């Protein structure tokens, strides 16, 4: 049986292999807690923060505050970033059994 494995699915497996099995076999879905929404909120805030620096063409101070960042820049291909940020299209790997990690 092929599975789609996201970071949250791998986290579920690490936390509770039985819950993972039940979820992937569509027997039972574990209820979402506050941590999912907290992480999604932080992800959104960080993307906005880095996008502002990306649009200005400079590195955020938390990345380069030691002067060793000459000729470095944030990844600036907006089309690829848009694709990577879409969880239905983003970066993925498929094995021969069509299991997918994304």
Write down the pLDDT at residue 17.
92
- Residues near 100 by beta carbon (within 8 Å), at least 6 away in sequence: 2, 3, 4, 5, 92, 93, 94
For 24-70, the pLDDT digits (tens) are: 888 988 877 776 678 788 989 999 999 999 999 999 988 887 778 88
Q: Which one has a higher pLDDT value, 92 or 12?
A: 12
> Can you tell me the distance from the alpha carbon of 30 to that of 24, in angstroms, rounded to the nearest whole number?
11
Whether the pTM exceeds 0.85: the reply is: no
For residue 24, the surrounding DSSP H or E stretch is: helix 17-24
């Amino acid at each position: 049986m092929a599975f789609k494995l996201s970071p949250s699915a791998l986290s579920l497996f690490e936390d509770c292999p039985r819950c993972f099995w039940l979820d992937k076999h569509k027997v039972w879905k574990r209820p979402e807690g506050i941590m999912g929404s907290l992480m999604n909120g932080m992800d959104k805030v960080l993307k906005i923060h880095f996008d502002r620096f990306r649009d200005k063409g400079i590195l955020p101070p938390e990345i380069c505050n030691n002067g060793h960042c000459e000729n470095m820049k944030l990844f600036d291909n907006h089309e690829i970033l848009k694709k990577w940020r879409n969880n239905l299209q983003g970066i993925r790997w498929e094995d021969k059994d069509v299991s997918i990690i994304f």
